[in-house]
């Protein structure tokens, strides 16, 4: 019974392609997040959604577009992928908006 | 913005040894979390600990909010404790987590 699940777990794609990462939580949490972990293991918030509404949008290229069809899902779409987008992307959810919550297993994106 | 600093950055332990990891933060917070990222990349919640002390098996954590630091204790370390330990805080009441850079722990048999 996975609480926060991301798909796919691994994604290898060529520069210039468009790809999506899906995230679903079955906890009934109100807030969902996307974090990016770079090659130095540094974790940083990208987006935060509360009840399907965008509440945080850090300095992220507009090639990244989150979409929340309902409060249990927050998908991340990336256009025109670049080499520098290679990273591990984590989805998370929490009951409030404080970020305290559970993380998905991560999606390792490799752009070649 | 808030700064979160962890020390040491790297730690190598012999199996069975004890260790203390430290997290300093630059501003008042209403929560603090410790995570373990295992060698497979999975992020696992260890503690929510805005203040006081909590224990879970061989791990315990103490946060002294007034002095803006938290400590994670690992006793009788095992090779399965290897990985990166992160602390993270929400800068204000309703904001996402800001992570420290982590402590990379290697426990050798």
Give Cβ neighbours of residue B55 (< 8 Å, ≥ 6 apart). none
Nearest CA in chain A to B30: A98
Residue contact B33–A103, C-beta within 8 A: no
Range of the domain at A52: 4-111
Rg (CA), chain A: 13
R_g (Cα) of chain B, nearest Å: 13
Of A90, A97, A106, the CB nearest to B94: A97
Boundaries of every domain in chain B: 4-108
In the stretch 15-34 of chain B, residues with CB closer than 8 A to chain A read 30-31, 33
- Nearest 5°: the CA angle B104, B43, B51 is 80
pLDDT for residue A99: 60
Cβ–Cβ below 8 Å for B96 and A106: no
* Statement: residue A52 has pLDDT above 90: no
Per-residue model confidence as pLDDT tens digits over A61-102: 999 999 999 989 999 999 999 999 999 999 999 887 666 678
> Among partner residues A35, A44, A99, which is closest to B90 by beta-carbon distance?
A99
Output the pLDDT for position B93: 58
Q: What pLDDT sits at residue B30?
A: 84
Under an 8 A CB cutoff, do B31 and A43 touch?
A: no
Does A46 or A56 have the greater pLDDT score?
Answer: A46
pLDDT at residue number B60: 97
Within 8 A of A98 by CB-CB distance, chain B residues are 30-31, 90, 93-97
| B39 reaches A (C-beta below 8 A) | no
Q: What is the pLDDT of residues A30-50, one digit of tens each?
A: 889 999 999 989 999 998 888
The CATH number linked to A57 is 2.60.40.10
Query: Average pLDDT per run of 10 along chain B, which is 109 residues long?
Result: 95 97 93 92 91 96 96 97 95 78 97
Residue of A nearest to B101 (CA): A42
Q: What are the residues whose beta carbons fall under 8 Å from the beta carbon of B2, sequence distance 6 or more?
A: B25, B26, B27, B29, B89, B91, B98
Interchain CB distance below 8 Å, B95 and A41: no
With cut-offs at 50, 70 and 90, classify the pLDDT of residue A56.
confident
Contact (CB<8Å) B43/A103: yes
Number of domains in chain A: 1
- Residues A5-39 pLDDT 10s: 999 999 999 999 999 999 999 999 988 999 999 99
Half-sphere exposure (Cβ direction) of B109: Cα atoms closer than 13 Å: 2
Q: Which of these, B52, B57, B58, B63, lies nearest to B89 by C-alpha position?
A: B63
Domain B4-108: state its class. Answer: mainly beta
Most B CBs within 10 Å, among A99, A104, A107, A108, to test the B interface: A99
Which of B45, B94, B99 faces A98 most closely, judged by CB atoms? B94
Quick one: pLDDT at residue A97? 62
The strand pairing partners of A1, in sequence order, are none
What is residue A50's predicted lDDT score, i.e. its pLDDT?
Answer: 85
């Amino acid at each position: 019974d996975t609480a926060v699940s991301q798909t796919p777990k691994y994604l290898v794609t060529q520069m210039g392609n468009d790809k999506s990462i899906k995230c679903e939580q079955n906890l009934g949490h109100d807030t969902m997040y996307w974090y990016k972990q770079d090659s130095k293991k540094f974790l940083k918030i990208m987006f935060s959604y509360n009840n399907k509404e965008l509440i945080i949008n850090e300095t992220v290229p507009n090639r990244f577009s989150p979409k929340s069809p309902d409060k249990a899902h927050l998908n991340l779409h990336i256009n025109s992928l670049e080499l520098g987008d290679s990273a591990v992307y984590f989805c998370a959810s929490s009951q409030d908006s404080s970020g305290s919550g559970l993380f998905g297993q991560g999606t390792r994106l490799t752009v070649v | 913005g808030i700064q979160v600093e962890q020390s040491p950055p790297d730690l190598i332990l012999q199996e069975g040894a004890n260790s203390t990891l430290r997290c300093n933060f630059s501003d008042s917070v209403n929560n603090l979390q410790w995570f373990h990222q295992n060698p497979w990349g999975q992020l696992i919640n260890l503690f929510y600990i805005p203040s006081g002390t909590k224990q879970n098996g061989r791990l315990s954590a103490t946060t002294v909010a007034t002095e803006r630091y938290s400590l994670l204790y690992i006793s009788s370390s095992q090779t399965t404790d290897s990985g990166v330990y992160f602390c993270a805080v929400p800068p204000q009441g309703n904001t996402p987590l800001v992570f420290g850079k982590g402590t990379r722990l290697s426990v050798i048999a």
